[in-house]
Structure 1
């Protein structure tokens, strides 16, 4: 009888043990789910903030991987249009008309065009680029700063862009784009920092045209 009770007790312990072992895992699983949900919510906020920008103007500084810095003014009009107007001592222009990103070097009279979808800037300009799908949150250590690295793993030649936003109730969608780091397929890194952001102004489409230096020496 004592032996039978021992077997029953052992069996009961064996059945109870797995349940007991699972108890601590439940809170951990709930925390993991909460973190996943929070990341999804932040990505949704980023997508919402980008889509809420109709037009934007800002001052910018651009730093290359060698540490050289140039500045100027930026004009953005969604979808797809952007203009980097450099300061007068930098005789070049970068502009997108919604279809192609064009780099114009007036010193050497050279024009280079790339589809915006093939550029890291596609995450910012291309309405077909799915930031929610290809975006990955980068820890910042600051609850008021959200950083998202966007890269299409199926098309690494498009490069990676890491967008940095700061919470600002006055900005579209409650997030203000403050900087980004673009890394192209050749590992060329470019950092752009924005300041003095303004939103919602009228911007004519002719802002995103340029004078071809191969036909004239005038800069536009």
Structure 2
């Protein structure tokens, strides 16, 4: 083979598309399925169990409605409430009359309640031993204030995009870890916007 023919052969080799490994193809498919699931879920209600990094466990009811609305209604006797009203996420402590606010984009929960997020750009599948379970970690290194969230799904054909969200582990920008486990999930039932209103815990403040 002369040099010209050899050069053409090498050019053809370099220009040929590189085949992805089967694992990479499967990961892309799984991420696409998670993205489809998140966009297909317009609302959700579920019972939740929350465990913090100290091991303290609380239970309650979760209500979600896109875009940007979420409510963690804790069990009776727990004087706290977490509400996303579409613009911000509020942490309300009625025992001390205080409230804290931060933008939805600064919370790991933004992945769940912002339908415009494209997680395929910054998420990865976490390898596991059970093929029925899919774990996906979402973390945007350009936006560390978003924190990090690992969502756990179970493959169920009847669920949106064939995936049932079983819970997640969230790590905020301050390093606080919270584990949420879900049960009795129900998707896309009507949810009133009034669900995401709350009483301001500060004395004399107006209802939000």
Report the TM range for the smaller structure's normalisation: 0.7 to 0.9
Alignment TM-score, normalising by the size of structure 1? 0.82
Distance 2:45 2:90 in 1: 19
Q: Distance in 1 between matches of 2:40 and 2:204?
A: 38
More helix as a share of residues = 1
SS at match of 1:173: helix
Equivalent of 1:73 in 47, 61, 71:
61
The Cα of 1:141 is off from its aligned counterpart by 1.2
- Runs of 4 or more, structure 1, over 4 Å off, are none
1:210: which partner in 2? 198
Unaligned runs of 5+ in 1: 1-28
Query: Is 1:182 aligned to 2:170, yes or no?
Result: yes
Superposed counterparts of 1:14-163, under 5 Å: 33-163=21-151
Query: May I ask how many residue pairs the two structures share in their alignment?
Result: 191
Gapped regions of structure 2 (runs ≥ 5): 1-17
Which position in structure 2 is the counterpart of 1:11? none
Q: Name the CA distance, whole Å, in 1 between partners of 2:108 and 2:42.
A: 20
What do residues 170-209 of structure 1 show as CA deviations (whole Å, max 9, x unaligned)?
2111101101000112211000000011122110111111
Distance in 2 (CA, whole Å) between partners of 1:201 and 1:74 is 13
Aligned position for 2:152? 164
- How far off is 1:213 after superposition? 1.4
SS for the counterpart of 2:62 is strand
Q: CA deviation at 1:44?
A: 0.3
**Paired residue for 1:173?**
161
CA displacement at 1:78 relative to structure 2 = 1.5
TM-score, scaled to structure 2: 0.86
